[in-house]
Amino acid sequence: MGLVEFAAAKTLASSAVFLFITVLLIAAATRTSTCIVLFAAQCAVITMQVVAMAYLHRSGEALVVAAMVLLVKVLAIPYALLRIRNRLNVPADISASTTAAQSVYIAAALILLAFAVVQPYARAFALDSEMLAVATALVLTGAFLMVSRKKALMQVIGLLVLENGIFLAALTTTFGMPLVIEMGIFFDLLMCVLLMGVFVFRIRDTFEHVDVSRLRRLRG
Protein backbone atom coordinates (compact mmCIF):
# COMPACT_ATOMS: atom_id res chain seq x y z
CA MET A 1 0.00 0.00 0.00
CA GLY A 2 1.43 3.35 -1.06
CA LEU A 3 1.80 6.23 1.31
CA VAL A 4 -0.95 8.31 -0.35
CA GLU A 5 -3.44 5.46 -0.18
CA PHE A 6 -2.53 5.01 3.46
CA ALA A 7 -3.10 8.72 4.13
CA ALA A 8 -6.43 8.65 2.29
CA ALA A 9 -7.62 5.61 4.21
CA LYS A 10 -6.55 7.22 7.50
CA THR A 11 -8.40 10.44 6.58
CA LEU A 12 -11.57 8.49 5.92
CA ALA A 13 -11.22 6.54 9.15
CA SER A 14 -10.59 9.56 11.33
CA SER A 15 -12.94 12.10 9.74
CA ALA A 16 -15.88 10.78 11.78
CA VAL A 17 -14.09 11.74 14.99
CA PHE A 18 -13.29 15.22 13.70
CA LEU A 19 -16.89 15.74 12.62
CA PHE A 20 -18.15 14.70 16.07
CA ILE A 21 -15.76 17.21 17.63
CA THR A 22 -17.04 20.04 15.41
CA VAL A 23 -20.63 19.17 16.27
CA LEU A 24 -19.91 19.28 20.00
CA LEU A 25 -17.96 22.53 19.67
CA ILE A 26 -20.79 24.20 17.72
CA ALA A 27 -23.16 23.14 20.47
CA ALA A 28 -20.82 24.64 23.06
CA ALA A 29 -20.04 27.89 21.22
CA THR A 30 -21.59 31.06 22.61
CA ARG A 31 -20.77 33.50 19.82
CA THR A 32 -22.25 33.50 16.32
CA SER A 33 -18.90 34.13 14.65
CA THR A 34 -17.36 31.11 16.42
CA CYS A 35 -20.19 28.98 15.11
CA ILE A 36 -19.59 30.20 11.57
CA VAL A 37 -15.86 29.38 11.78
CA LEU A 38 -16.64 25.96 13.25
CA PHE A 39 -19.08 25.33 10.44
CA ALA A 40 -16.33 26.16 7.95
CA ALA A 41 -14.03 23.74 9.78
CA GLN A 42 -16.68 21.03 9.61
CA CYS A 43 -16.99 21.55 5.86
CA ALA A 44 -13.20 21.43 5.54
CA VAL A 45 -13.22 17.98 7.16
CA ILE A 46 -15.92 16.93 4.69
CA THR A 47 -13.79 18.26 1.82
CA MET A 48 -10.83 16.16 2.97
CA GLN A 49 -13.09 13.18 3.15
CA VAL A 50 -14.42 13.66 -0.39
CA VAL A 51 -10.86 14.12 -1.70
CA ALA A 52 -9.77 10.91 0.03
CA MET A 53 -12.72 9.05 -1.44
CA ALA A 54 -12.05 10.48 -4.87
CA TYR A 55 -8.46 9.25 -4.64
CA LEU A 56 -9.34 5.77 -3.42
CA HIS A 57 -12.09 5.29 -6.03
CA ARG A 58 -10.10 7.08 -8.78
CA SER A 59 -13.14 9.26 -9.50
CA GLY A 60 -12.80 12.61 -11.28
CA GLU A 61 -16.40 13.55 -10.54
CA ALA A 62 -15.80 13.31 -6.81
CA LEU A 63 -12.88 15.71 -7.15
CA VAL A 64 -15.22 18.24 -8.77
CA VAL A 65 -17.64 17.75 -5.86
CA ALA A 66 -14.78 18.29 -3.41
CA ALA A 67 -13.86 21.51 -5.18
CA MET A 68 -17.46 22.68 -4.93
CA VAL A 69 -17.65 21.86 -1.21
CA LEU A 70 -14.46 23.84 -0.72
CA LEU A 71 -15.64 26.83 -2.74
CA VAL A 72 -19.25 26.98 -1.59
CA LYS A 73 -19.29 25.64 1.95
CA VAL A 74 -15.81 26.34 3.28
CA LEU A 75 -15.27 29.72 1.62
CA ALA A 76 -18.36 31.40 0.12
CA ILE A 77 -21.06 30.65 2.70
CA PRO A 78 -18.97 31.30 5.85
CA TYR A 79 -17.62 34.47 4.24
CA ALA A 80 -21.14 35.67 3.41
CA LEU A 81 -22.39 34.78 6.90
CA LEU A 82 -19.50 36.58 8.59
CA ARG A 83 -20.14 39.67 6.48
CA ILE A 84 -23.85 39.60 7.30
CA ARG A 85 -22.96 39.18 10.98
CA ASN A 86 -20.62 42.17 10.94
CA ARG A 87 -23.04 44.41 9.09
CA LEU A 88 -25.98 43.50 11.33
CA ASN A 89 -24.52 45.32 14.37
CA VAL A 90 -26.33 43.21 16.90
CA PRO A 91 -24.87 41.62 20.09
CA ALA A 92 -22.56 38.71 19.32
CA ASP A 93 -24.06 36.13 21.70
CA ILE A 94 -26.33 33.43 20.28
CA SER A 95 -29.11 33.83 22.89
CA ALA A 96 -29.67 30.12 23.28
CA SER A 97 -32.53 28.74 25.33
CA THR A 98 -30.13 26.17 26.86
CA THR A 99 -26.75 26.81 28.49
CA ALA A 100 -23.56 25.77 26.71
CA ALA A 101 -23.11 22.76 29.01
CA GLN A 102 -26.67 21.59 28.50
CA SER A 103 -26.27 21.97 24.74
CA VAL A 104 -23.14 19.81 24.76
CA TYR A 105 -24.88 17.11 26.78
CA ILE A 106 -27.86 17.18 24.41
CA ALA A 107 -25.57 17.01 21.35
CA ALA A 108 -23.71 14.07 22.91
CA ALA A 109 -27.00 12.32 23.62
CA LEU A 110 -28.06 12.91 20.00
CA ILE A 111 -24.79 11.35 18.79
CA LEU A 112 -25.43 8.24 20.91
CA LEU A 113 -29.00 8.12 19.61
CA ALA A 114 -27.68 8.36 16.04
CA PHE A 115 -25.36 5.40 16.64
CA ALA A 116 -28.25 3.37 17.99
CA VAL A 117 -30.69 4.06 15.15
CA VAL A 118 -28.33 3.44 12.23
CA GLN A 119 -27.12 -0.03 13.31
CA PRO A 120 -29.86 -2.07 11.58
CA TYR A 121 -29.52 -0.13 8.30
CA ALA A 122 -25.73 -0.32 8.36
CA ARG A 123 -25.92 -4.10 8.82
CA ALA A 124 -28.58 -4.61 6.15
CA PHE A 125 -26.70 -2.63 3.51
CA ALA A 126 -23.14 -3.40 4.59
CA LEU A 127 -22.35 0.28 5.08
CA ASP A 128 -19.87 2.02 7.33
CA SER A 129 -21.95 2.45 10.49
CA GLU A 130 -19.69 5.21 11.87
CA MET A 131 -20.17 7.49 8.89
CA LEU A 132 -23.89 6.82 8.78
CA ALA A 133 -24.05 7.70 12.47
CA VAL A 134 -22.16 10.96 11.83
CA ALA A 135 -24.62 11.86 9.08
CA THR A 136 -27.61 11.17 11.31
CA ALA A 137 -26.00 13.01 14.22
CA LEU A 138 -25.42 16.07 12.03
CA VAL A 139 -29.07 16.04 10.92
CA LEU A 140 -30.27 15.73 14.53
CA THR A 141 -27.96 18.37 16.00
CA GLY A 142 -28.75 20.71 13.11
CA ALA A 143 -32.42 20.41 13.95
CA PHE A 144 -31.60 20.89 17.66
CA LEU A 145 -29.65 24.07 16.92
CA MET A 146 -32.56 25.40 14.87
CA VAL A 147 -35.08 24.99 17.67
CA SER A 148 -32.85 26.06 20.58
CA ARG A 149 -31.11 29.16 19.13
CA LYS A 150 -33.11 32.34 18.88
CA LYS A 151 -30.89 34.38 16.57
CA ALA A 152 -31.93 34.27 12.92
CA LEU A 153 -28.35 33.61 11.78
CA MET A 154 -28.01 30.66 14.16
CA GLN A 155 -31.07 29.09 12.57
CA VAL A 156 -29.33 29.38 9.21
CA ILE A 157 -26.25 27.65 10.69
CA GLY A 158 -28.46 24.91 12.13
CA LEU A 159 -29.99 24.40 8.70
CA LEU A 160 -26.53 24.23 7.10
CA VAL A 161 -25.37 21.62 9.64
CA LEU A 162 -28.52 19.62 8.89
CA GLU A 163 -27.79 19.86 5.17
CA ASN A 164 -24.21 18.68 5.79
CA GLY A 165 -25.68 15.60 7.41
CA ILE A 166 -27.80 14.85 4.36
CA PHE A 167 -24.80 15.42 2.08
CA LEU A 168 -22.75 12.96 4.16
CA ALA A 169 -25.57 10.44 4.06
CA ALA A 170 -25.56 10.61 0.27
CA LEU A 171 -21.78 10.33 0.24
CA THR A 172 -21.58 7.25 2.46
CA THR A 173 -24.58 5.35 1.12
CA THR A 174 -24.36 5.95 -2.61
CA PHE A 175 -20.92 7.52 -3.04
CA GLY A 176 -22.65 10.79 -3.94
CA MET A 177 -25.43 11.56 -6.35
CA PRO A 178 -24.81 12.21 -10.08
CA LEU A 179 -22.67 15.31 -10.60
CA VAL A 180 -25.35 17.46 -12.25
CA ILE A 181 -27.67 16.90 -9.30
CA GLU A 182 -24.94 17.72 -6.79
CA MET A 183 -24.24 20.96 -8.64
CA GLY A 184 -27.92 21.88 -8.61
CA ILE A 185 -28.12 21.20 -4.88
CA PHE A 186 -25.08 23.39 -4.21
CA PHE A 187 -26.58 26.18 -6.30
CA ASP A 188 -29.86 25.93 -4.39
CA LEU A 189 -28.00 25.97 -1.07
CA LEU A 190 -26.04 29.07 -2.00
CA MET A 191 -29.18 30.90 -3.18
CA CYS A 192 -30.96 29.83 -0.02
CA VAL A 193 -28.25 31.29 2.24
CA LEU A 194 -28.21 34.54 0.26
CA LEU A 195 -31.99 34.81 0.46
CA MET A 196 -31.92 34.12 4.19
CA GLY A 197 -29.36 36.90 4.47
CA VAL A 198 -31.81 39.25 2.74
CA PHE A 199 -34.52 38.22 5.18
CA VAL A 200 -32.26 38.63 8.22
CA PHE A 201 -31.71 42.25 7.21
CA ARG A 202 -35.42 42.74 6.62
CA ILE A 203 -36.19 41.29 10.06
CA ARG A 204 -33.71 43.68 11.64
CA ASP A 205 -35.08 46.67 9.72
CA THR A 206 -38.76 45.99 10.42
CA PHE A 207 -38.52 44.60 13.98
CA GLU A 208 -35.26 46.24 15.15
CA HIS A 209 -33.96 42.90 16.48
CA VAL A 210 -33.06 39.49 15.03
CA ASP A 211 -34.54 37.32 17.75
CA VAL A 212 -36.83 35.00 15.81
CA SER A 213 -38.43 33.64 18.97
CA ARG A 214 -40.03 37.08 19.32
CA LEU A 215 -41.63 36.85 15.87
CA ARG A 216 -45.03 35.70 16.96
CA ARG A 217 -47.56 38.00 15.40
CA LEU A 218 -48.95 35.26 13.21
CA ARG A 219 -50.75 32.63 15.22
CA GLY A 220 -53.56 30.09 14.85
Applying CB under 8 A, which residues contact another protein?
121, 124-125, 139, 143, 146, 152, 155, 159, 162-163, 166, 169-170, 173-174, 177-178, 180-181, 184-185, 187-188, 191-192, 195-196, 198-199, 202-203, 206-207, 212, 215, 217-218, 220
Nearer to another protein, 130 or 163 (CB): 163
Full 3-state SS string of 63-128: HHHHHHHHHHHHHHHHHHHHHHHHHHCCCCECCECCCHHHHHHHHHHHHHHHHHHHHHHHHHHCCC
Distance CA 2, CA 78 (A): 35
Nearer to another protein, 2 or 208 (CB): 208
Minimum distance of another protein from residue 3's CB (angstroms): 30
Residue 66, number of CB atoms within 10 A of its CB: 20
Distance CA 13, CA 7 (A): 10
- Residue 98 has what DSSP assignment? S
Nearer to another protein, 79 or 187 (CB): 187
Minimum distance of another protein from residue 45's CB (angstroms): 20
Nearer to another protein, 71 or 192 (CB): 192
Minimum distance of another protein from residue 113's CB (angstroms): 17
Minimum distance of another protein from residue 201's CB (angstroms): 10
Nearer to another protein, 53 or 152 (CB): 152
Distance CA 97, CA 198 (A): 25
Minimum distance of another protein from residue 162's CB (angstroms): 6
Residue type, 37: V
Residue 22 CA to its chain's centroid (Å): 9
Nearer to another protein, 113 or 185 (CB): 185
Distance CA 67, CA 87 (A): 29
Residue 3 CA to its chain's centroid (Å): 30
Minimum distance of another protein from residue 6's CB (angstroms): 28
